Amino acid sequence: MAAVRKVILSLAVLFIGVVAQAGTYAAIDYPGAIATYVYGMNNRGEIVGQYTDTGGQSHGFLLSNQIFTSIDVPGGTLAAAVGINDSGLVVGYFSSSAGIQGFLWDQQSFTTLMPPGATFAMANGINNSGEIVGFYRVSGLTRHGFRFSNGQYKTLAPPHVQDAVLAGINDNGDVAGFYTDIFGLNRGFRLHNDRFDHINYPGALDTAAWGMNDHGAIVGQFRTQDGNTNSFAVRKDRYISVTFPGGMNTILLDINDSGFMVGYYYDSYSIPHGFLRTP
């Protein structure tokens, strides 16, 4: 299977804009895919994610200048592209006989990302300095957040937390993520200047913070008391709910410095589609 495959398609065909909630929403579907998930976006408007082909196989993808590039790590059986910086460096994860591993792709070659002793790893975000965040497991289901910088892995989590995910990192070195509390509920957080601040959508049962930009805006998802999943954006403690018009569930995962947001939603047939929200 080729590691990279390109598909060119007009944006007029790809995107159908819907004006709602003080923004314009556009659905994103990889051509011919039966499912599309959008995970990340940079300041140049390049988008990364994952799609499922008609054979049920999952692949990563990059959407840049109206060109879709399918991403598969050589020797892997599935892939997902999760984060991208302004230089076009892409991080994500893939599956192989060795298990789930993180990767860095410079659009020419792949580098495996695996903290020492890990048996499972996912890379979620990368900033313009090349710092990478994600999580790994050593054994069992406990997740450990990691930060990879200058060739070194560092495990990070809020104090007294056993299970944590680092999901996004901006150019200031601030990190967004979430951890699981003793009740099995997600609690969002931001790490800024070695200080962990809680991110919890008002009145929500639980909250997960995923992406953040250089202005301190954070996006993620929250679950209400009735079990429904919704998405939010927050800056300076001002929260707004974000929902794709007509979508059943909206999962918001990243925001760039211009306020463009990306994620995915499920339609009435429970089929996932990526989306872009323009301010």
Contacts 24+ apart (CB under 8 A), 170-175: 170/127, 170/212, 170/213, 170/214, 171/127, 171/128, 171/129, 171/214, 172/214, 173/127, 173/129, 173/131, 174/212, 174/216, 175/133, 175/147, 175/212
- Return d(Cα 165, Cα 250) in angstroms, integer: 20
* pLDDT tens per residue across all 279 residues of the chain: 346 666 554 343 344 444 345 679 999 999 999 999 999 999 999 999 999 999 999 999 999 999 999 999 999 989 999 999 999 999 999 999 889 999 999 999 999 999 999 999 999 999 999 999 999 999 888 999 999 999 999 999 999 998 999 999 999 999 999 999 999 999 999 999 889 999 999 999 999 999 999 999 999 999 988 888 899 999 988 999 999 999 888 999 999 999 999 999 999 999 999 999 998
Contacts 24+ apart (CB under 8 A), 256-259: 256/41, 256/42, 256/43, 256/45, 256/213, 257/43, 257/213, 257/214, 257/215, 258/43, 259/213, 259/217
pLDDT score recorded for residue 20: 45
CB of 88 closer than 8 Å to CB of 81: no
pLDDT score recorded for residue 23: 79
The secondary structure of 116-141 as a DSSP string is TT-SEEEEEEE-TT--EEEEEESSTT
pLDDT score recorded for residue 272: 98
- Return d(Cα 98, Cα 59) in angstroms, integer: 18
- Return d(Cα 218, Cα 204) in angstroms, integer: 16
* Residues 6 or more apart in contact with residue 70 via CB below 8 angstroms: 2, 4, 5, 6, 7, 30, 51, 59, 60, 61
pLDDT score recorded for residue 259: 95
- Return d(Cα 163, Cα 186) in angstroms, integer: 10
The residue type found at 109 is S
Nearest to 25 by CA among 254, 253, 175, 246: 246
Rounded to a whole number of angstroms, the distance between the first and last alpha carbons of the chain is 38
- Residue whose structure tokens are 């556009």: 26
**Max intra-chain CA distance, the chain:** 50
